[in-house]
């Protein structure tokens, strides 16, 4: 059977690896953060909702680099002018650590195969205007960030160590 999945920034990592299992090693070669894909629990949960645009942000690699490397490996033509995901560097003007009203360390949830989405959604919906919610994860949780931003919240993420990311959600 011929592989038919066209690799784009919106391709889900799970679908990519289901169609092209040999690309797992390529992803790990691009950035070691993708070693987490070897964890079957994370592969079944996080990889299902994470697209390559989000994965590039998680891996801190250029989206065009990851897309075109994967496409080359499976014989697809190079993509040009791929729009990059926003970068998470400088803290925004709204960030003030004294305004963090609630914090969730989601690492135990994620490591046990769960997903903190419902908990985070409930928490941010209950926040008072002007407060900040802090989420601690072992990687940049781009699908979750996108979901909360779609609800009208602002976000900012920072990496405090190799496997600790802090994401802050703000309600104006």
Q: Are 11 and 5 in contact (CB under 8 A)?
A: yes
Mean pLDDT of 105-122: 88
Please write the tens of the pLDDT for every residue from 60-86: 788 999 999 999 999 999 988 887 655
Q: Assess whether pLDDT exceeds 80 at residue 42.
A: no
Mean pLDDT of the chain: 86
Query: How far apart are alpha carbons 132 and 25 in whole angstroms?
Result: 38
All structural domains of the chain: 13-73 (no CATH), 97-170 (3.30.110)
Element (H, E) at 164: strand 164-170
pLDDT at 152: 93
Mean pLDDT of 42-53: 80
Query: How far apart are alpha carbons 59 and 41 in whole angstroms?
Result: 19
Higher pLDDT, 138 or 133: 133
Q: How confident is the model at residue 1 (pLDDT cuts 50, 70, 90)?
A: very low
The DSSP line for 14-67 is HHHHHH-TTHHHHHHHH-GGGGGGGSHHHHHHHHHH-BHHHHHHHHT--HHHHH
**Neighbour-count burial for 40-67, b at 16+ CB within 10 Å, e otherwise:** eebbebbbebbbbbbbbbbbebebbebb
- Tokens coding 6: 């066209």
């Amino acid at each position: 059977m011929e592989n038919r999945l066209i690799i784009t920034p919106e391709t889900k990592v799970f679908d990519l690896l289901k169609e092209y299992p040999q690309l797992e090693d390529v992803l790990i070669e691009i950035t070691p953060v993708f070693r987490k894909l070897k964890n079957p629990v994370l592969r079944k949960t996080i990889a299902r909702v994470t697209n390559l645009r989000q994965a590039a942000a998680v891996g801190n690699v250029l989206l065009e680099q990851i897309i075109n490397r994967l496409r080359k490996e499976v014989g697809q033509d190079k993509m040009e002018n791929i729009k990059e995901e926003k970068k998470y560097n400088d803290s925004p003007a709204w960030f003030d650590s004294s305004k963090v009203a609630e914090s969730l360390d989601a690492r135990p949830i994620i490591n046990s195969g769960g997903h903190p989405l419902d908990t985070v959604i409930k928490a941010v919906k209950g926040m008072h205007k002007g407060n900040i919610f802090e989420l601690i994860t072992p990687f940049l949780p781009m699908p979750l960030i996108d979901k909360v931003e779609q609800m009208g919240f602002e976000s900012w993420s920072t990496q405090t160590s190799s496997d600790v990311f802090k994401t802050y959600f703000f309600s104006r």
